[in-house]
Amino acid sequence: MTNQPDADLPLSGIRVLDLSRILAGPYCTMILGDQGAEVIKVERPDGGDDTRTWGPPFAGGESAYYLCCNRNKKSITVDLKKPRGIELIRELVKASDVLVENFTPGLMKRFGLDYETLRELNPRLVHCAITAYGQDGPYRDRPGYDMVLSAVGGLMWITGPKGGEPCKVGVAITDVVTGVYASGAIASALLWRERSGRGQYIDASLLDVQVSALANIASNWLVAGKEATRWGTAHESIIPYQVFPAKDRPVAIAVANQKLWANFCKAIDKEEWIDDPRFETNPKRVENREVILPLVAEVMAQKTCDEWVKLFVEASIPCGPVNNMQNLFSDPQVLHRDMIAEVPHPTIGTLRVGGIPIKYSETPGAVRLPPPLLGEHTDEILTDVLAYSPERIETLKRERVV
């Protein structure tokens, strides 16, 4: 756990009301919390965030899935099906800077919590709505999860072995990237608010983000009409740039220019390939991929992964082992970069979570709070934020509003 004082963090003093669940929204608000924002996670009383039950594995009654994206937050339970629950949210909106939600389009309006209504209560509110397809368009009302959006958004089409079936990425990357995009959009809106004095509405969709994240693959189509295909770990236009089996486990290499090609050939004791007319330039290697790749694979199978990594590092060739989780979280660079953080948890004891990936010179982020238990901070929030009396809180509990 990083003992960074809240006041020293870049988003200290910002209060985020988080009505989101699953991954994209909670990932967004976790990033804001890591940078010092006070994040109030609003959950339904009967179970809370769906991911609390997405296991095994579990620890201390909480799923590992839930624990991965809900640190630096406080949890309050509120029943949005009850008028007094809606009124409580409106009061919290008045005391907040940011609202994040991922309800289907139109549902917030039915609750009376749409942006047009809320900005009357708080003109400085930044309201970020995360949905599958966006707030308008022919797919507006369709539900969606990461796997479906990775299919619709083209990612699944380019992921998987050459000639094989489309595959999903091993982590819900469309959700994660949407969360990162949304956190940046919120920070930008807060900066604009400092100049204008006004909040605004942010419409963030998984589909839009996934299309944007296609990067050069999208450009190939938009610029040249070139259809994408699956290449496994290989690269369509750079060779060798992929994973090869070594004697014991796979190793990834990236030979992305002619200098690296010469260094690579020397490192594997195949200097004759440097001037071979079939392989002397990258376009030639791409043209003759069916010849060169089996030759490289044959050589790579002769040494262990660690032996190749040592040789390639000495030759300044980008390379690395294909790590499983055990190897990853014992890797000296990962450990040196503090990519494992520890935080005390009320039912788990010491909880290990992922570290903060962006390093600031003056305002480093901090893991200050563990992922909260369901409703753990209900009394604290109602008392400290809304100044409710103990009697009023007890009444809300009796009526099962909270």
Which residues are marked as active site? 175
CB of 160 within 8 A of CB of 166?
A: yes
Q: Which residues of 192-215 are buried (b: 16+ CB within 10 A; e: fewer)?
A: ebeeeeebbbbbbbbbbbbeebbe
